[in-house]
Amino acid sequence: MNEHRSINEIREKLEIELGEQLNALISSAHALNVKAAAKFDSSIQPAAFHLVRWLYSYGPTNAAALAESTAMDRSSVSRLIKQLQALGYVKREASPNDGRGVVLSLTDDGQQKMIDALKEKESVYYERLLDWKDIELHDFIQTLRRFNGFRS
C-alpha cells in the first residue's frame, strides 16, 4: 500500500512539474507574441494582431468564421478588421462563391509585415534548438503532437 502511494506521489509531482513547464512555455510564447505584435505595428491592439496572424496562417475567410476560429465576438472582429483595413493590412473582397458574401485576406503589405514580425519570434525558438540533435527535435515534435491530441 505504501508503494502504491509513493507511485501516486511521484506521478503527482511529475504532473505539477509538467504544469510548471507548460506555464513557462505559454508565458514565453505570449511574451514573444507581444513583441511580434509591436514589431508588426505598435498602434494596433494585440487582438488585431491575433486576427492578422490567423489570416496569415490559414488564409482568406469570412468575418463569421474568423470570429469563431479566434473565439472573438463578431462585433469586435468587425471593428478590428475595419482598423486593419484602414491601415492597409487587410482587404475585403466579394466571395467567389457568393457575390453577397465578403472574404477577408491580408494585403501584400500585411503579409510582408507579418513575415518580418515573425522572423524575430522564430529566431528565439531556433536559437534554443541550435544544439539539439535531429532525433531530439523529432521526438519533441512527436511528443507535442501526441499531447495536442494529434496522431502521427
* pLDDT recorded at residue 146: 93
pLDDT tens digits along 15-29: 999 999 999 999 998
Residue of 141, 118, 138, 126 lying closest to 54 (CA atoms): 118
Side chain identity at 34, as an amino acid letter? V
Give the chain's domain count.
Answer: 1
**Where residue 112 sits, what CATH number does that domain have?**
1.10.10.10
Q: Quick one: CA torsion of 11, 129, 33, 63, rounded to 10 degrees?
A: -90
Q: In whole angstroms, give the CA distance from residue 81 to residue 64.
A: 12
* pLDDT recorded at residue 2: 67
Q: In whole angstroms, give the CA distance from residue 122 to residue 130.
A: 12
Question: Is 152 among the domain residues?
Answer: no
Q: In whole angstroms, give the CA distance from residue 25 to residue 35.
A: 15
* pLDDT recorded at residue 106: 98
* pLDDT recorded at residue 152: 57
Domain carrying residue 41: 2-147
* pLDDT recorded at residue 148: 87
Question: Is 81 among the domain residues?
Answer: yes
Nine-digit cell at 42? 505598435
Q: In whole angstroms, give the CA distance from residue 95 to residue 4.
A: 61
* pLDDT recorded at residue 100: 77
* pLDDT recorded at residue 19: 95
Gyration radius of the chain over CA positions: 20
Residue numbers in the chain where pLDDT is lower than 50: none
pLDDT tens digits along 22-56: 999 999 988 988 889 999 999 999 899 999 999 99
Question: Is 51 among the domain residues?
Answer: yes
Residue of 144, 56, 71, 61 lying closest to 106 (CA atoms): 56
